[in-house]
């Protein structure tokens, strides 16, 4: 009887922790929605002209990486954000340098560690989502960081009664992105908590 009670308490604590993490994440999104949507929209606008991904490679935001995708090649660069060669490289690839540097500064302020455009297929049709990760200071522990990751879709998605992202309408199959289950924020955005920044 004691073992049953012990395991019941452990299970309840685990479920409460998961639930509070989800609530904390949903609250975090609501509090920062304007900034996150602005970053996503500007990224999409730039990405349409010049496909790229951006990452922060360290906790102090002192080393960044940018992946620039052309028709034939994929360039990967690493920079200190204050270095002139970041602006020079962006200019050489015909980016709007002030626009890009402002986007990077806003990402840094939000502690955004990764942004990219992912493609996926639905009914044989290629579609896209913006995938954005942020350091989530209120979750995890000193030993293990958690990342708050948002997937922004171009159209409404389908969710089950627990708010989990489904692969299609009237399906019971959970759609995983990078092996993670995502939970509903609104009809076209969902989130997960991850141990990795991308």
pLDDT digits (tens, 9 = 90+) for 105-155: 899 888 899 999 988 877 778 888 999 998 866 655 455 667 889 999 998
- Do the bridges between strand 176-177 and strand 180-181 make them parallel or antiparallel, or are there none, so unpaired? antiparallel
In this prediction, residues 16-23 reach a mean pLDDT of 49
Q: How far apart are CA 44 and CA 94, in angstroms?
A: 16
Inside any domain, residue 9? no
Q: Which domain holds residue 152?
A: 21-194
pLDDT tens-digit readout, 58-76: 777 778 899 999 888 999 9
Bridge partners (DSSP) listed for residue 67: 53, 76
Whether 81 shows a pLDDT value over 70: the answer reads: no
Average pLDDT, the chain: 81
Inside any domain, residue 2? no
Inside any domain, residue 99? yes
Inside any domain, residue 45? yes
Predicted pLDDT at 197: 65
Inside any domain, residue 62? yes
Tokens standing for residue 42: 């500007």
Inside any domain, residue 52? yes
Q: How far apart are CA 56 and CA 86, in angstroms?
A: 14
Whether 4 shows a pLDDT value over 70: the answer reads: no
Residue 90 CB neighbour total at 10 angstroms: 23
Predicted pLDDT at 17: 40
Inside any domain, residue 110? yes
Inside any domain, residue 6? no
**This model's pTM is above 0.85:** no
Q: How many domains is the chain partitioned into structurally?
A: 1
138 φ, ψ to 5°? -85, -5
């Amino acid at each position: 009887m004691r073992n049953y009670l012990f395991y019941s308490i452990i299970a309840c604590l685990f479920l409460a922790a998961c639930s509070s993490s989800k609530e904390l994440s949903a609250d975090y999104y609501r509090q920062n929605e304007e900034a996150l949507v602005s970053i996503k929209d500007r990224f999409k606008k730039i990405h349409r002209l010049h496909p790229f991904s951006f990452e922060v490679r360290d906790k102090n935001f002192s080393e960044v990486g940018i992946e620039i995708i052309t028709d034939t090649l994929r360039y990967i660069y690493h920079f200190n954000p204050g270095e002139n060669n970041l602006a020079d490289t962006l200019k050489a690839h015909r980016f709007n340098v002030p626009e890009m540097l402002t986007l990077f500064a806003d990402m840094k302020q939000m502690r955004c560690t990764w942004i990219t455009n992912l493609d996926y297929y639905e009914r044989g049709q290629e579609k896209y989502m913006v995938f954005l990760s942020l350091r989530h200071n209120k979750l995890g522990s000193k030993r293990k960081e958690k990342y708050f990751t948002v997937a922004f879709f171009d159209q409404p998605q389908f969710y089950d009664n627990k708010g989990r992202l489904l692969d299609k309408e009237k399906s019971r199959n959970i759609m995983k992105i990078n092996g993670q289950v995502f939970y509903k924020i609104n009809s076209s955005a969902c989130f997960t908590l991850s141990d990795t920044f991308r």
